[in-house]
Structure 1
Amino acid sequence: MRTSRPVVPLWLRSRADAVQTLTWVGKHYAHVVGYQLARTPMYAGRLAIRSPRGLARLVGGMVRWTFDLEGEPVRVATVRKADPEAYLKLSRQRDSRVRLRVPVMLVVLVTLLIAALIVAGQPAALQWGALAVALAALGILGKPADRPLIERAVLASTVEKLTSDIVIRALTTLGISGITQAMSKNPKDAIRFVAPITRDGPGWRADLDLPHGVTVGDVLDKRDRMSGALRRPLGCIWPEGDSTVHEGRLILWVGDKDLSRTVVKSPLVKAASHDVFKGIPFGADPRGRAITVPIIEQNILIGSQPGQGKTASVRVLASGAALDASTELWIHELKGTGDLDPHEQNCHRYISGIEDEAIAYAADSLTLLRKEVMRRAAALKALPPDLCPDKKVTRAIADKRSLGLHPLVAIFDECQNLFAHEEYGAKAGEDAEFIIKLGRALGVVLVLATQRPDKRSLPTGISANVTIRFCLRVAGQLENDMILGTSSYQNGIRATLFVPGPPDKGGDAGTGYLVGATPMPKVVKSGYLDTPTTQLIADRAHALRKASGVLTGHALGETPEQLTPSYDLLADILAVVGASEAKVWNETVIARLADLRPEVYGGWEVEQLTAMLKPHGIKTVQVWGTTQDGKGANRRGIIREEVAERSRGAAS
């Protein structure tokens, strides 16, 4: 299959890349020219000092050439060997050369003398110019072999151009057996460059095919060794694959600056307002290109080890949502450290804490969101086709506040404390999965962040259905794939390659793999917003919301709606299951509970009842019963006496 190379170079495909590349080239050569011009007097002095040696070398060379002194050692050697025939032949050759060269040298000397006399009769400026040229020429002839005349303006270790030889040398030092064997058999074609190495943003890009049987994942595992081979900081080396071609296509990007040392400035710092329908400016890739995360019709999952910048990334998304006055903001910071406190003034619902009351509040929020999704679905369906032809929330629909279809962004930081909770976790996980699946088109967005990505702390129904994932440093393959998706590690998308720790200690905190926001997975460093800066953004957002009259709920000091403590599940089961019924099917219990409290139990399923009974130590069992058509069946159910016993124990 033939692949046509693009007509337009990579760096000219966008205005930002073109400006960045041309700016780099301009600054580079402007620096070189300025550096050398500033040292012109020093170079002139060196030439003047070296000119006597150059004159001696010139005169000596002319004499040796004229009288054929270069052949003198050979003639002496024939004399020592007592070989008269060879000596006579060499002597005749030397005589013929000298007879020819002496006139030539006389012509050269006379010409130089005439030129000197002509220059002597010229103006002083021309005389000095001729003298300078003569001294420069003699100075160049007198240059020592180990001391160049002109110094390098830029050290090669920082801006050395990436070449194919350098890349091949680096790859062959990685200790990958497939590369080593291929290079030993066919060093010219083992590694094939599919495009010229070009300038790509603030760095160099090489597109190449690895030897047969070698994948990009093999190279990613050796990123630290490649850093040593290329003599660049680890934060400058960013190999990635292009699986749309094949698993052996490597795109190696080598930056001029260490990404871990780069502070990404967020445009939200100076923004007066923002439109979430245009996405939220999230950070930058290693090439310095701005990365925007779409948020409408999306759900976002962020994961990492502690201290790797997870909450800071959440802070960027919260700030972008807060600056859109039409967006309703719910924040649940379940760590209790107050990292998101600046935005409390803008939230319809807000909680910060790790105690059971805070977890219950967050669980209530998911219950309310589930109801909100169902309300919005009915409201959107009722809209006329000319206003909502695609049955999705748009900017025009969101601006009609009376419809109640504005964007709603609910953030759950440290969500593992909610989903792993014995009492509230199971129901919260089911509600979150429901919202993620149905809320996207209705303007309801979940942002979940966790530092413990496992099956208990992050239900698979949630991790499998989120559309955008951002994974900072994690410990291993399991955690990597829980956040980024199944087989991500195998496909070379590995957040394990990031160095743990803050940037000031050489770590990659704030840097992670972003999947789903761009056509291909990208390494992205999130924008940095410290607490004072976030407070300024939050204050600006509060003034904007107050002026628009959209502050509600917690922001106005209203008492939050509490759902969790409003019912006792065990007491309700005992109320709907008579004392004469020893064992009852779950589906029968759920139907009766829905009649008792439709606002609480409506929509419950068999698995949900089983999950809600587990925290109370009650397990469902197989119960024999009769269906409506009179047939016997064995289904999951409860033992009433066990429920009564647990209820009495809880009351005491």
Structure 2
Amino acid sequence: MTIETHQTQAPDDDVIDVEVVEPGRLDRLKEKAGPHAEKARAALTEQKVRVAIRVANWFKTADVSDAQLAEEIEKRRRQADQQQGRASHAPRAARAEVAPGAGVEGPVVVEAPVPVNQVPLQVPRVSADRMKVSGRDLSKARWAKKFGRFGMVAAGAYGAVNGIAMEPVLALAALGVGGPVGWWYLGRPLAEEETAAANSVDLVKGPGLDAAGEAGVPFVPQTLADAGRVSMVKRDPAHVRGEADLVTALIKAGIITEAQRDETHLAGVIEPSGPGWAATIELPRGVKASAAISRVADLASALRIKTTRIELTTDTTQEGHEGRARLWVADEDNPYGSQKTPSPLIKAPVWNFWEQGVPMGPDARGKRRDLHLLWSSILVGGLMGYGKSYMVRLIAAAAALDPTVRIIVITGKTGPDWAPLRHVAHQWIAGASPDIIRKVLRVMDRTITEMQDRGTELDRMYEENPDKVPEGKITPELAREGMGPVLLVVDELQELLDGAALIQVPVDEDTTGEGGRTKTRSGRDLLVESFARYVRVTRFVGGMGAFITQRPSADSVPTKLREVCGHRASYRVKGDKSARMVLGDDAVADGAAPHLLGEASKGVVVLDQGAEEGHVTLKADVIDLPEFKEIALRGRALRQDAGTLTGDAVAYGKEDRAAAATDMLLADCLAVLDAAGTDRARTERLVELLAAHRPGEYGELTNAQLQKRLRDAGAGTTGKLGPIDGMANPNGYTRTQIAAAQTGK
């Protein structure tokens, strides 16, 4: 309804005329349809934008990457070479002798057919220069594809016009069906990559290597610059804006010569990879990737960046070969970061060493890495204070949380580093005195004998029931029955060897030497042989070793022991000679470079697991000593429940056992209350919850015993709880008083 007002002409008249105009049905319909029409117009506008973006991207060939274009170009060139090779192998027409009188004077010599196995094989040579795909090649291929698509549209329009002229009804019907379907298909919501292509910025083709790059300048590889559609912004460019710059850097680094420039090219394109960029380099014929790897410091100098930012390895992919290298350059000088990463083992209640392995930490690109040590051993070396013990602590923590794993600890010095493992270790030895060295030799002999007896038992079981012992190795089922893996942790290997070198040990065979004296051998030689023999003969029955040394040299890392360790890890060392002592010649030749790590690389380790993928550089997770002790106590409880707590761990801490049991009781009380979703419980109910949580520890616990133990732990006596369990106000314990006792301790 509309109200119109009209003031009278009389100036002294205060009366206003009001005229009421009733809206019609059409006006009301327009008013109701207004919001819907606005939504429809907005939706249509949005669809128009999507259609325009998709059509523009299609005509610009934005849906085809440079890598795909390069593959198409290489494929066409290889096909052309193959056709040329087949043409060159066309059979030669045999010359036949013509009979007399045939119009040819003289005999025609008949060439005897050559046996197939004597025909020289001509293999077409595929030139590396011919296979090289430059930015100009990519640009030509993209424009050809654009013209092809314009031609397709023109041919389609021509066909549509002819169709309307010849069969107007059918043609219009087809357009009536295909038009809406095509509009819906083109107007659907854009995918992420389509939006990115639509929002791409103009490219700036970068200058040469000597040009000074600034942060924020578009990082445009030469192989992409001519394509005119890809933009990657690099925070701190390494002055490489394309293939030409990278090849120039290789020349300045002395990896190739100026004469080999045209022979050197990229396999694919430079591309972003995590917090950096990567490129695969096809080196000239006769130049090995290992030669380039040996000059990685020179390459860093040529790129004007720190060596820690470069990873250069041989391309081990299916397409790779000895003359192809894989380069990765980080955006920052320390791609591993300066923050500690807590290990997931800290909060894990239990761990499956068989299936989960050992969580190690992230590599430079942020990918988590695991170590699988079962059936093998590892040698860890590096300078003091860079994290060797922390890394092996990860291995020991994972083993401690698996009650099927037996742990033996031998350390060349006393101290708290490995003291928490006394709660779970079957054998725990610290020091390097002569008496301790003799004890170590006895423990190693006994352990090897036990493991060999295990192998004999496995042979017997395999004969009786092969399905129970597949491949003649222990299984998780056998481990739960008491035949679990054995982890030998040896720290301060160099101290043990130095201490063993001071003693002579009598030998059994030929006990008398010259002059009737007892024949002896160096304790050092016997210790090295014991460790190496353990690794060799116990591997298939679950024997594992983790050996730590901080002075990588021929004396501290005996070749006899190093060569039998399938896994190796090195923290920072001084010089490639020390790196080779730990990792071996092959790993260093393949790009492993712990000697290039800087002072800021604490916690960064080069890990070689002996697999085909080679080594990986990562920053190991951290477990501090208090957390390590908590893990060991959890491991002890797991072994007590499983019945696998053996050896020194059984007798350890008799004087401290009451305190440890008290700590565990308070922690278990809080855990069962939280699991039950309550903050209080009667004494009887709390006993039931504890017995269900840990039957081996609390299965026979009585109400009176629980009250006494909680009173001794500082939790006080029972108090009134209020209404609970259908009772008006029974006695019991609250979570607050138990938590206060735990905090007070």
TM class, shorter-length? 0.5 to 0.7
Secondary structure of the corresponding residue to residue 529 of structure 1: coil
Q: Summarize the alignment of residues 469-508 of structure 1 with structure 2, pairs less than 5 Å apart.
A: 469-499=568-598, 501=599, 506-508=600-602
1:247 is the counterpart of 2:328:
no
Q: Which of 521, 525, 532 is matched with 2:619 structurally?
A: 525
Deviations for 1:418-448, whole angstroms, at most 9, x for unmatched residues? 3342223222222222221111110111111
Check conservation: 1:408, 1:444, Cα contact below 8 A.
Answer: yes
Q: Is the 8 Å Cα contact of residues 174 and 222 (structure 1) preserved in structure 2?
A: no
- 2:337 counterpart residue number: 261
In structure 1, the residue matched to 2:474 is 393
1:270 to 332, 347, 365: 347
Structure 2 CA distance, aligned partners of 1:175 and 1:194?
Answer: 18
Equivalent of residue 198 in structure 1, options 250, 254, 271 = 271
Query: Aligned match of 1:331 in 404, 409, 419?
Result: 409
Specify every segment of 5 or more residues in structure 1 that has no aligned partner in the other structure, as ranges: 8-151, 560-652
Q: Are the aligned partners of 2:603 and 2:620 in contact in 1 as well (CA < 8 Å)?
A: no
> What do you get for the CA RMSD once the two structures are aligned?
3.3
Q: What pairs with 1:121-520 in structure 2 (closer than 5 Å)? A: 159=235, 165=241, 168-169=244-245, 172-173=248-249, 176=252, 178-179=254-255, 181-182=257-258, 185=259, 187=261, 189-224=262-297, 226-227=299-300, 230=303, 234-242=307-315, 245-257=320-332, 258-262=334-338, 263-278=340-355, 279-383=357-461, 384-401=465-482, 405-420=483-498, 421-422=500-501, 423=503, 424-499=523-598, 501=599, 506-516=600-610, 519-520=613-614
Q: Quote the Cα distance in structure 2 between the aligned partners of 1:337 and 1:174.
A: 49
CA gap of 1:175–1:509, structure 2 versus 1, over 3 A, is: farther
Secondary structure (helix, strand or coil) at the match of 2:392 reads helix
Look up the SS of the partner of 1:370 in the other structure: helix
Q: Deviations over 1:166-195 (max 9, x none)?
A: 56535634665655633xx465x3431112
Matching residue's letter, 2:637? A
The structure-2 alpha-carbon separation of the partners of 1:526 and 1:175, relative to structure 1 and needing over 3 Å to count, comes to same
Residue matched to 1:539: 633
- Tell me if structure 1 keeps the 8 A contact 2:255–2:292: no
* Residue identity in the other structure for 1:261: G
Q: Which amino acid aligns with 1:396?
A: E
3-state SS of paired residue (1:373): helix
Tell me, which stretches of 5 or more residues in structure 2 are unaligned? 1-65, 69-214, 220-232, 504-522, 654-745
What secondary structure is seen at the aligned counterpart in 2 of 1:240? Answer: strand
User: CA offsets, 1:470-521, max 9 Å, x none?
Assistant: 122222343322322244333433322222x3xxxx2344322423266322
Kept after mapping to 2: 8 A contact 1:267/1:281: yes
Equivalent residue runs for 1:575-590 within 5 Å: none
On the 8 A contact 2:569/2:608 being kept in 1, the answer is yes
> What is the DSSP-based 3-state SS (H/G/I as helix, E as strand, rest coil) of the residue aligned with 1:292?
strand
CA–CA distance in structure 1, aligned partners of residues 243 and 569 of structure 2: 30
The structure whose RCO (Cα within 8 Å, separation 6+) is larger is 1
| Offset of residue 164 of structure 1 | 6.1
* TM-score between the two structures when normalised by the length of structure 2: 0.49
Shift of 1:319: 0.8
Q: Are the equivalent residues in 2 in contact too, given 1:349–1:553 (CA < 8 A)?
A: yes
Whole-angstrom distance in 1 between the partners of 2:306 and 2:554: 36
Distance 2:303 2:558 in 1: 42
In 2, distance between residues paired with 1:165 and 1:190? 19
Report the residue type matching 1:194 in the other structure: A
Tell me the alpha carbon deviations over residues 84-119 of structure 1, each in whole angstroms, 9 at most, x when there is no partner. xxxxxxxxxxxxxxxxxxxxxxxxxxxxxxxxxxxx
Q: Does the Cα contact within 8 Å between 1:484 and 1:515 map onto a contact in 2? A: no
Tell me, what secondary structure is at the counterpart of 1:466?
coil
CA distance in 2, matches of 1:535, 1:479: 33
% identity of equivalent residues: 28
Distance 2:329 2:597 in 1: 16
Distance 1:342 1:473 in 2: 27
Provide Cα deviations, 1:228-252, integer angstroms capped at 9, x if missing partner. 6656665433222226733332212
Deviations 1:359-398 (A, max 9, x none): 3333232112211221111111111212113100111111
Q: Secondary structure at the match of 1:329?
A: strand
Do the aligned residues in 2 keep the contact of 1:363 with 1:428 (CA within 8 Å)?
Answer: yes
Q: Distance in 1 between matches of 2:378 and 2:444?
A: 16
Give, in whole Å, the separation in 1 of the partners of 2:296 and 2:494.
31
Q: What SS does the corresponding residue of 1:172 show, helix, strand or coil?
A: helix
Q: Name the CA shift for 1:498/1:215 in 2 (closer, same or farther; >3 Å).
A: farther
The question of whether the paired residues in 1 share the 8 Å contact of 2:314 and 2:326 is answered with: yes
> 1:154 Cα deviation (Å)?
9.8
> Does residue 550 of the first structure (1) align with residue 644 of the second (2)?
yes
Per-residue CA shift, 1:277-311, capped at 9, x if unaligned?
Answer: 12211222222212111121111111112222211
Residue 308 to residue 217, structure 1, CA distance change in 2 (3 Å) = farther
Give the secondary structure class of the aligned counterpart of 2:528.
helix
Equivalent position amino acid for 2:648 in 1: H
The number of aligned residues is: 402
Q: Does the residue aligned with 1:492 lie in a helix, a strand or coil?
A: coil
- The TM-score, its normalising length taken from structure 1, stands at 0.56
Amino acid in the other structure paired with 1:201? G
